Amino acid sequence: MTHRSRKQQLFLCFIALLAVTLRQSYAATDAPPTAAPPTPPTRPERGNYSVTNGNGTTCLMARMGLQINISVSSAALNKTVWKVQNLQPNLTRSSGSCDLESATLQLTDVPNKTNLTLVFSMNATTNKFHLSAVSLSAIWPDVKRPIAESNGSLDYLRGTAGRSYMCREEQTLAVTVNFSLNTFQLQVQPFNLTGAEFGTAEECQLDEDDMLIPIIVGAALAGLVLVVLVAYLIGRKRSHAGYQTI
């Protein structure tokens, strides 16, 4: 009896294995012929961009990776698509100008086909700055029409005079319905630079949230260690006391 049932079990096991194998091979052959999967956009390289004043002093500094995300009319596909384009630091020139209440960073690619302009404004009464305008003009070979997107009433990257704004996490800055800018590992100071050095960094909320998790985990672990330690010490004291009384 037991011998037969063990044999049966073995047989059932074999059948099950076979079924699984067949199912997998069927699934593999059933799958539609996969077109090349859309390649996910790569992370843009981080660039050092700066603006120098008329007298040669650096008045704006930015370190960041930039990615343009824009809805364009593709010539090859004959339809509107979202195009993701990284700025390549070694193929990008930076220029611009600074005055007391506004600072402009213009980033141009080497063949002069892409011009991205960021304007920062300083509010002299509050001593706070922010990114107030972004514009993009570009002529790309695979895009039907010249690109021209801009928004002059933005309020991003808010910081304090004399300090830099920092955001390690990826941030998406929506400029228009058809154009947004993704920033990576950003640090920028558009005003009150002393030498070519960033002032104290003010971190964005995303980074602070990110930092909160390890802090909470660390605190929980420390608490656990403390509880174990206290329990151990109490236990030791008790057993010690017990030993003495005997």
Ligand X SMILES: *[C@@H]1O[C@H](CO)[C@@H](O)[C@H](O)[C@H]1NC(C)=O
Residues that bind ligand X (CB under 6 A): 41, 48, 53, 55, 57, 63, 69, 71, 73, 78, 80, 82, 84, 88, 90, 100, 108, 111-113, 115, 123, 125-126, 137-139, 151, 153-154, 161-162, 176-178, 180, 182, 191-192
The nearest distance, CB 36 to ligand X, in angstroms, is: 18
Residues with Cβ within 8 Å of residue 48, at least 6 apart in sequence: 61, 62, 63, 89
Distance between CA atoms of residues 174 and 120, nearest Å: 16
Cβ closer to ligand X: 6 or 158? 158
Cβ closer to ligand X: 42 or 244? 42
Tell me the two tokens of residue 67: 């990615």
The nearest distance, CB 162 to ligand X, in angstroms, is: 3
Tell me the two tokens of residue 232: 């151990």
Tell me the two tokens of residue 118: 């960021």
The nearest distance, CB 127 to ligand X, in angstroms, is: 6
In the complex, residue closest to ligand X by CB: 162
The DSSP symbol for 54 reads T
Tell me the two tokens of residue 4: 């037969």
The nearest distance, CB 72 to ligand X, in angstroms, is: 8
Q: Taking the mean position of all CA atoms in its chain, how far away is CA 29?
A: 38
The nearest distance, CB 209 to ligand X, in angstroms, is: 20
Cβ closer to ligand X: 21 or 80? 80
For residue 229, count other CB atoms closer than 10 A to its CB.
10
